[in-house]
Chains A and B, each alone.
Chain A
């Protein structure tokens, strides 16, 4: 039954074997299913992200969203996220830690009795950049989806925020197919930046497919904010599941 699912909070070892919390939804089925690791956006593991986790379960994926701010807790997810955001991205979600948490989530999914052995990653906003990096640094994964990940390219210093090197330098090690979705009205990444990421991956011969949407900006999948764009989001979700069904379920 397509819409039967179980959802719960689980714990699993992440980076440094720290046990971190995650929100899991899985379809109720006897058939083997692939796994998906979902990386929340900057506000944290909020109701929209949890809704998307359940959406994956209805599409036949066991999906877990690691709470990437978990180490700032314990506490209500919104307070934990607020503490993480106040500390800044580099301190609250350092790349190496997030990659370790993703690898832990992938191992957890693969260890479940109903797993088909395949695991992908999808991330939104800061999670998009983390999904891009995971495609290079977490070889245990089989596919990656970057939804409007910002700061993949080097960024100049802005106001009090220091310059960053981005993660594009890791692209030579990208070891799996990458799907990218971007809104053409976004400012990070803007159209020229997406062009540049596309150019680098093409030059490196990396398997990547980008879909870019007019009339959409950053976070156009997010249903509880004004930036939501119905038509583009419906088309984007179709692209996501076509890609994942091919790479993780072996569908044509």
Chain B
């Protein structure tokens, strides 16, 4: 299945990336003081692989509004007709 359905949400925040693909084995989520995004508090998302050390991390800091928009877009992507059909066929995912 190829949905070709992409949503772009406007966002305010900051990100810290890695140079190439990395395995992600956990996501740390917290609402707290950000390091780089210019807010007193932000939604902090760290996609990590702790077994590979602390540098195996994609860190995202989003304003609360951007984080809610992201949640909405994720939910919308998963609720698209093709996604729902696909998920029904792959109930194990």
Query: Chain A: residues with CB nearer than 8 A to chain B?
Result: 41-44, 46, 72-76, 78-83, 85-86, 125, 217-219, 224-227
Cβ contacts under 8 Å, B50 to chain A: 83
Cβ-defined contact, B30 with A79, below 8 A: no
Cα distance A41–B40 in the bound complex, in angstroms? 13
23 A-B pairs within 8 Å (CB atoms) are namely A41-B33, A43-B33, A44-B35, A74-B54, A75-B55, A76-B55, A78-B16, A79-B55, A80-B54, A81-B35, A82-B48, A82-B54, A85-B30, A85-B32, A86-B28, A86-B30, A125-B33, A218-B40, A219-B33, A219-B40, A225-B33, A225-B40, A227-B40
Our pick among B38, B39, B40, B46 for the contact of A82 (Cβ within 8 Å) is B46
SS class, residues of chain A in contact with chain B: loop
**Shortest distance between the CB of B73 and any CB in chain A (Å):** 24
Q: Which of B33, B35, B48 interacts with A78 by CB under 8 Å?
A: B35
Smallest CB separation, A49 vs chain B (Å): 11
Kindly list 10 other residue pairs between chains A and B, CB separation below 8 angstroms, not including A79-B16, A85-B28, A225-B39. A46-B35, A75-B53, A80-B54, A82-B48, A83-B57, A85-B30, A86-B30, A219-B40, A226-B38, A226-B39
* Distance from B40 Cβ to chain A, minimum over Cβ atoms (Å): 5
B38→A75 contact, CB < 8 A: no
B binding-site residues for A, Cβ under 8 Å: 16, 28, 30, 32-36, 38-40, 44, 46, 48, 50, 53-55, 57, 59
